[in-house]
């Protein structure tokens, strides 16, 4: 598919991922993988749930197929969740039908594609909600070490199917905006999807090696840490050995021909944490990734976004994205910790004043 070719909705394979809890994943998979196997057969899609990560409650459901089939698959998922209400609770739900017939599906969407789904002055999201009777709620924050956000689809089973199909149309019609998406991975590994591809449209690499096997046994904390340490050491050693062999074989002309450019928008109030004092952090990100990173001038609107332009090989750009969003996540965690600290101090002060 060329960069200027708009894909046909009828002929396009779509990958749509959803965030599910551990309990929801168990219901979707079913005993011995029966439910997810039936889902594949009935909806004619590829589907799977990411493996269990010790200490992490998130898992990712991935469904790939033609748009009507993907929408049907999520209809079946919604039906399964409705039939198993004890699997999860949704306190923010405001149903328009009996509560027992309502559920929530949390779709993962690239930050860059949110504008496509919301539309000018919110017209597109209003159309989706009116056409489906579902209620859509988009989170403001991106998920850790990724460029994906969550869109909650609240409603009946049929409403969810219609809403998913409308969202899928948006993803296909504006597919170029999805290029460079860094997928959320509960295991927080370095993303494996190329930063120059669209992981949602006609990209089989987005269907990560998900399994429908039974959950892995619980490993004692100390053993898990030791195993993770060994795995990381092995991975680093393997990467180092690979880098040596590659350096001997790379043709400089081939590198030049493989240069890519992509742009990402960063919230204005977060730019400082990426640049660092005297530009120290952005300089380090450039050095570690090997990509050139330029930053547009500040937006005139207060709190506006700043455009970062990343230029390099696909591998370098992917590493740059990983480092950039890792820095954003660290800054968010720091701000949350500071907010909690300030709240605690205010509470102490109020208590002292009350005693006086």
Do residues 117 and 129 lie in contact, with contact meaning Cβ atoms separated by under 8 Å?
Answer: no
Tell me: pLDDT of 1 over 60.
no
- Top mean pLDDT of 78-87, 162-171, 330-339 is at 162-171
Domain boundaries, the chain: 13-84+101-178, 260-354
Do residues 163 and 134 lie in contact, with contact meaning Cβ atoms separated by under 8 Å?
Answer: yes
Do residues 113 and 171 lie in contact, with contact meaning Cβ atoms separated by under 8 Å?
Answer: yes
As a whole-number percent, the residues of the chain with pLDDT over 70 amount to 72
Residue, of 50 and 204, whose pLDDT is higher: 50
Residue, of 323 and 206, whose pLDDT is higher: 323
CATH class of 13-84+101-178: alpha beta
pTM, two decimal places? 0.58
Tell me: pLDDT of 213 over 50.
no
Confidence of residue 260 (pLDDT cuts 50, 70, 90): confident
User: For residue range 310-331, what is the model confidence (pLDDT) as tens digits?
Assistant: 999 888 888 888 888 878 877 8
Mean pLDDT of the chain: 76
- Of 86-95, 132-141, 151-160, 211-220, give the lowest mean pLDDT range: 211-220
**Average pLDDT, stretch 129-135?**
95
From CA 141, how far away is CA 269, in angstroms rounded? 13
The kind and range of the H/E element at 294 are strand 292-295
Tell me: pLDDT of 134 over 50.
yes
Count other Cβ atoms within 10 Å, centred on residue 28: 24
**Average pLDDT, stretch 109-116?**
88
Count other Cβ atoms within 10 Å, centred on residue 50: 22
CATH architecture of 260-354: 2-Layer Sandwich (3.30)
Distances in whole angstroms, Cα of residue 271 to Cα of each of 167, 184, 294, 299: 30, 21, 12, 12
Confidence of residue 190 (pLDDT cuts 50, 70, 90): very low
**Average pLDDT, stretch 136-152?**
86
Tell me: pLDDT of 205 over 90.
no
44 Cβ contact list (under 8 Å, min separation 6): 65, 69
Tell me: pLDDT of 16 over 80.
yes
Confidence of residue 299 (pLDDT cuts 50, 70, 90): low
User: For residue range 217-255, what is the model confidence (pLDDT) as tens digits?
Assistant: 333 334 433 443 444 334 333 333 333 333 334 455 555
Distances in whole angstroms, Cα of residue 265 to Cα of each of 99, 262, 295: 39, 10, 10
């Amino acid at each position: 598919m060329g960069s200027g070719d708009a894909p046909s909705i009828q002929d396009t394979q779509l990958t749509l991922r959803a965030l599910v809890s551990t309990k929801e994943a168990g219901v979707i998979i079913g005993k011995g993988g029966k439910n997810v196997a039936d889902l594949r057969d009935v909806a004619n899609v590829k589907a799977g749930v990411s493996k269990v990560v010790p200490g992490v409650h998130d898992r990712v459901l991935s469904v790939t197929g033609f748009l009507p089939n993907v929408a049907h698959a999520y209809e079946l998922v919604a039906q399964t969740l409705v039939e198993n209400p004890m699997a999860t609770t949704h306190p923010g739900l405001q149903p328009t039908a009996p509560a027992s017939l309502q559920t929530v599906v949390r779709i993962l969407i690239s930050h860059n594609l949110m504008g496509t789904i919301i539309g000018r002055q919110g017209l597109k999201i209003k159309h989706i909600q009116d056409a489906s009777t579902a209620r859509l709620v988009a989170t403001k924050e991106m998920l850790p070490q990724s460029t994906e956000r969550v869109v909650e689809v609240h409603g009946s089973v049929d409403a969810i199917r219609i809403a998913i199909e409308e969202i899928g149309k948006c993803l296909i019609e504006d597919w170029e905006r999805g290029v460079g998406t860094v997928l959320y991975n509960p295991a927080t590994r370095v993303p494996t999807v190329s930063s120059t591809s669209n992981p949602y449209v006609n990209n089989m690499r987005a269907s990560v090696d998900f399994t429908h096997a039974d959950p892995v046994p619980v490993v004692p904390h100390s053993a898990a840490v030791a195993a993770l340490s060994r795995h990381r050491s092995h991975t680093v050693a393997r990467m180092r050995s690979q880098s040596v062999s590659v350096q001997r074989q790379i043709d400089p002309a081939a590198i030049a021909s493989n240069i890519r450019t992509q742009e990402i928008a960063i919230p204005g109030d977060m730019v400082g944490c990426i640049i660092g004092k005297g530009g120290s952090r952005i300089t380090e990100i450039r050095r570690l990734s090997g990509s050139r990173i330029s930053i547009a001038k500040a937006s005139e609107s207060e709190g506006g976004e700043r455009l970062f332009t990343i230029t390099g090989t696909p591998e370098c750009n992917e590493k740059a994205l990983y480092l950039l969003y890792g820095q954003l996540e660290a800054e968010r965690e720091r701000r949350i910790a500071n907010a909690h600290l300030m709240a605690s101090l205010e509470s102490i002060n109020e208590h002292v004043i009350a005693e006086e």
